[in-house]
């Protein structure tokens, strides 16, 4: 680990940047670095590995195995072999395993949070919040496992009895992104296991470590060999194509960008696979003149700067009624100017690094484009001159309609304000995107709030709140934001298939 090393409290080695070097080294040494196949950790078949970086300074923190196509197939073999026993394991037993997994993840919250901050960059407090959120999927689906039910009744003609039952779809391939390394994994693994499915997980190669540690905790909790397999790899395309193209696979669940989601849907068409797609977003955040401004500003800070703006649910366009656009801009700018930038492990840091230099370059390009078209820069607006992938928290006002960042996901700490004059215009601007994941509305009028909820073309809406994610709720988007729902009572049905049986009139 790079940095200026000194002695901290208790004589332990501490980096100037807030890293407890000996604690991090000890934790990193305990994280598995292999592929999990059939309950065993092992190297890639050709011995290849790839480095995982700390985005706060670019240093390599660990090498992990890089799966070959052959390894991907071996992981699927293991999932196929384990399916028959796991799918017939009583739901209550599957629930107990998931509940023990929840307990272990909570017990190891400090380790998981630190690991996430080291490989992904978000401030430690946010990593802790993600552990709480991500663990909740294990508890929620432990409870749901025992509640899957069918239906029995006479058919309308009175000539027979209809029985409707639910069955696990089979072995699943789960692909997760780097921005929420823990929650995106548990949000897929928990409902799959609850339904009786077995899985091959492919975490993002930028952030594999948290998923690897979670997988070890699942084994410790009693998940049988082969039920959860993990393939880390930089040979993502070929490995995924082989797994998705294998006729034994029955389901693909993907969270990531819309372009990759489209490609995977095309591949999944070959096997007519069940698919769940959690894709990109371009969330509008609408503030009306009858909003409570303090509530709206708090909501804006949460909706924009959580995860350093790298969330599919991040508010991308702040549509603010013209009468309070200036005051809103002044208040958010005051808050943003007080943010502290640094390594996420450092006390008081609110803005960590972006995931890599490519991400910084993209944010830089989008901000420069908006400013060149006439947007007013109120704070930030440039890279932070220091090692690592940092971009300053930024506020832009009067963003013109042709700015690229109104159409594309910014995926960075940039709050872009567009004024509007009336409700119809707000609706038109909010819906003027190919995405439809989430929207946020701030108003004190119940009638207006209800009208907006009905008129906004998004799978989720936050009414006077800036964060909507909840394990108990159906998370998912409309339009190009995806297919299917994760969490809630709906989440388990992504991993179940229906059978109808007609029995003769008794």
Can you give the binding site for ligand NAD, defined by CB under 6 A? Answer: 175-180, 184, 202, 204-205, 236-237, 240, 255-257, 260, 263-264, 278-281, 312, 409, 437, 477, 482
- d(CA 97, CA 189) in angstroms, rounded, equals 12
Per DSSP, which regions of 130-256 are E strands? Answer: 151-154, 160-168, 172-175, 199-202, 228-230, 251-255
- Whether 341 and 413 have beta carbons less than 8 Å apart is answered as no
Backbone angles phi, psi at 442, to 5 degrees: -120, 115
Residue 203 C-beta: closest distance to ligand NAD, Å: 6
- d(CA 443, CA 464) in angstroms, rounded, equals 7
Residue 437 C-beta: closest distance to ligand NAD, Å: 6
Chain CA centroid to CA 169, Å: 23
Which residues sit opposite 105 in a β-bridge?
A: none
Q: Is the CB of 45 or the CB of 263 nearer to ligand NAD?
A: 263
Q: Is the CB of 101 or the CB of 240 nearer to ligand NAD?
A: 240
Q: Is the CB of 83 or the CB of 173 nearer to ligand NAD?
A: 173
What are the residues whose beta carbons fall under 8 Å from the beta carbon of 353, sequence distance 6 or more?
55, 56, 121, 308, 343, 344, 388, 389, 390
Q: Is the CB of 296 or the CB of 438 nearer to ligand NAD?
A: 438
Residue 2 C-beta: closest distance to ligand NAD, Å: 25
The helix or strand, by DSSP H or E, that contains position 396, with its residue range, turns out to be strand 394-397
- d(CA 413, CA 351) in angstroms, rounded, equals 8
Catalytic residue among 144, 278, 409, 486: 278
Chain CA centroid to CA 155, Å: 43
Give 402: exposed, middle or buried? Use CB within 10 Å, 0-12, 13-18, 19+. exposed
Active site residue 241: no
Task: Provide, for the chain, the percentages of residues in helix, strand and coil under a 3-state DSSP scheme, each rounded to the nearest 5.
Answer: 40, 25, 35
Residue 89 C-beta: closest distance to ligand NAD, Å: 29
Residue 373 C-beta: closest distance to ligand NAD, Å: 23
Residue 411 C-beta: closest distance to ligand NAD, Å: 6
Q: Is the CB of 31 or the CB of 264 nearer to ligand NAD?
A: 264
- d(CA 431, CA 455) in angstroms, rounded, equals 9
Tell me the residue nearest to ligand NAD as measured from the CB. Answer: 256
- d(CA 369, CA 403) in angstroms, rounded, equals 7
Q: Is the CB of 96 or the CB of 408 nearer to ligand NAD?
A: 408
What are the residues whose beta carbons fall under 8 Å from the beta carbon of 436, sequence distance 6 or more?
457, 458, 459, 477, 478, 479, 480, 481
Q: Is the CB of 128 or the CB of 188 nearer to ligand NAD?
A: 188
Name the region of 42 (left: φ>0; alpha: ψ -120 to 50; beta: rest). Answer: beta
The helix or strand, by DSSP H or E, that contains position 179, with its residue range, turns out to be none
Name the region of 196 (left: φ>0; alpha: ψ -120 to 50; beta: rest). Answer: left
- d(CA 308, CA 462) in angstroms, rounded, equals 19
Q: Is the CB of 66 or the CB of 255 nearer to ligand NAD?
A: 255
Backbone angles phi, psi at 281, to 5 degrees: -140, 170
Q: Is the CB of 36 or the CB of 148 nearer to ligand NAD?
A: 36
- Whether 334 and 445 have beta carbons less than 8 Å apart is answered as no
Cα–Cα separations (whole angstroms), residue 470 to 129, 467, 474, 489, 497: 12, 9, 8, 12, 24
Q: Is the CB of 307 or the CB of 443 nearer to ligand NAD?
A: 307
- d(CA 41, CA 231) in angstroms, rounded, equals 10
Active site residues: 278
């Amino acid at each position: 680990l790079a940095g200026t090393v000194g002695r901290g409290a208790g004589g332990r080695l501490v980096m100037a940047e807030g890293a407890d070097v000996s604690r991090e080294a000890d934790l990193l040494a305990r994280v598995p670095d292999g592929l999990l196949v059939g309950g065993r950790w092992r190297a890639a078949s050709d011995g290849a590995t790839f480095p995982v970086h700390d985005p706060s300074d670019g240093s390599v923190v660990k090498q992990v195995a890089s799966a070959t196509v052959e390894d991907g197939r071996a992981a699927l073999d293991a999932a196929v072999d384990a399916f028959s026993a796991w799918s017939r394991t009583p739901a209550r037993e599957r629930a107990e395993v998931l509940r023990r997994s929840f307990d272990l993840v909570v017990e190891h919250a400090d380790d998981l949070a630190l690991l996430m901050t080291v490989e992904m960059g978000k401030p430690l407090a946010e990593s802790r919040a993600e552990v709480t959120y991500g663990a909740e999927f294990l508890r929620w689906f432990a409870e749901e496992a025992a509640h899957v039910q069918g239906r029995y009744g006479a058919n309308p003609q009175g000539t027979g009895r209809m029985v409707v039952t639910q069955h696990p779809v089979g072995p699943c391939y789960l692909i997760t992104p780097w921005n929420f390394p823990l929650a995106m994994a548990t949000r897929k693994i928990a409902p799959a296991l609850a339904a009786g499915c077995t899985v091959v997980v492919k975490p993002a190669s930028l952030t594999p470590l948290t998923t690897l540690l979670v997988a070890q905790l699942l084994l410790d909790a009693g998940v049988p060999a082969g039920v959860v397999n993990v393939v880390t790899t930089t040979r993502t395309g070929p490995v995924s194509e082989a797994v998705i193209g294998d006729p034994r696979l029955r389901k693909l669940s993907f969270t990531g960008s819309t372009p990759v989601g489209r490609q995977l849907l095309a591949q999944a068409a070959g096997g007519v696979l069940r698919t769940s797609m959690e894709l990109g977003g371009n969330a509008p955040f609408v503030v009306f003149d009858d909003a409570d401004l303090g509530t709206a500003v708090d909501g804006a800070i949460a909706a924009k700067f959580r995860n350093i703006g790298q969330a599919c649910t991040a508010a991308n366009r702040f549509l603010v009624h013209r009468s309070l656009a200036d005051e809103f801009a002044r208040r958010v700018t005051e808050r943003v100017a007080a943010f502290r930038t640094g390594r996420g492990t450092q006390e008081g840091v609110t803005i960590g690094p972006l995931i890599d230099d490519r991400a910084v370059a993209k944010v830089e390009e989008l901000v420069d484009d908006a400013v060149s078209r006439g947007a007013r820069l109120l704070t930030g607006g440039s890279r932070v001159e220091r090692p690592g992938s940092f971009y300053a928290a930024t506020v832009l006002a009067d963003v013109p309609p042709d700015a690229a960042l109104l159409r594309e996901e910014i995926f960075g700490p940039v709050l872009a304000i567009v004024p509007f004059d009336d409700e119809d215009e707000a609706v038109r601007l909010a819906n003027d995107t190919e995405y439809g994941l989430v929207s946020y509305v701030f108003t004190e009028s119940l009638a207006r709030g209800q009208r907006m909820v009905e008129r906004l073309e998004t799978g989720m809406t936050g009414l006077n709140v800036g964060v909507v994610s909840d394990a108990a709720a159906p998370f998912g988007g409309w339009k190009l934001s995806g297919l299917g729902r994760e969490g809630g009572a709906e989440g388990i049905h992504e991993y179940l298939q229906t059978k109808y049986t007609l029995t003769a009139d008794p």
